[in-house]
Amino acid sequence: MTVVTLPADWLDELKWDEQGLIPAIAQDDQTGDVLMVAWMNRDALARTVETGQAVYWSRSRKKLWHKGESSGHLQRVSDIRTDCDADVILLKVQQTGGIACHTGRYSCFYRQLQKKSDSKQTDSHKWRETDPIIKDPGEIYPGDQ
């Protein structure tokens, strides 16, 4: 991906944190479901705008992360918003393959806080997985095996 990124006022209007990053929420533009949250630096957001596909900054790998570059699960971006504080980005996306999560699930938010039925204690809740694995991660990322 070769993209020339010039200075842009709209990028300057955002509040980047001390690492030069801003959190970005990806939301399915059809269902409205929240799919994932990742981080962007200026370059990632500029490339997202220029290519029409979500590009994030991988904090663990410390490099640009063109979502779907390994898995094929690209995100086509139909809408980019920011909030009143200009410190969060909201992307509406069309999720290729219907899988946003590296675990092979549709959404990363597959764990729901549920009440344990047999307890009246304050610690009466637990996280439960509610969403199925659509595709085995070993099939999605064969190079990682």
| Residues of this chain that bind its own copies (CB under 8 A) | 4-10, 13, 23, 25, 27, 31-34, 36-37, 46, 49-50, 79-86, 88, 90, 101-103, 105, 108-113, 121-123, 125-127
CA distance 108 to 143: 21
Q: Please give the angle made by the CA atoms of 78, 99 and 44, to the nearest 5 degrees.
A: 50
Minimum CB–partner distance for residue 6 and its own copies (Å): 4
Q: Which tokens in the block code for residue 109?
A: 């938010």
Whole-Å CA distances, 23 to 15, 34, 106, 126, 133: 10, 14, 20, 27, 25
Nearer residue to its own copies within complex by CB, 23 or 98 = 23
Nearer to its own copies, 33 or 94 (CB): 33
Of 64 and 80, which has the nearer Cβ to its own copies?
80
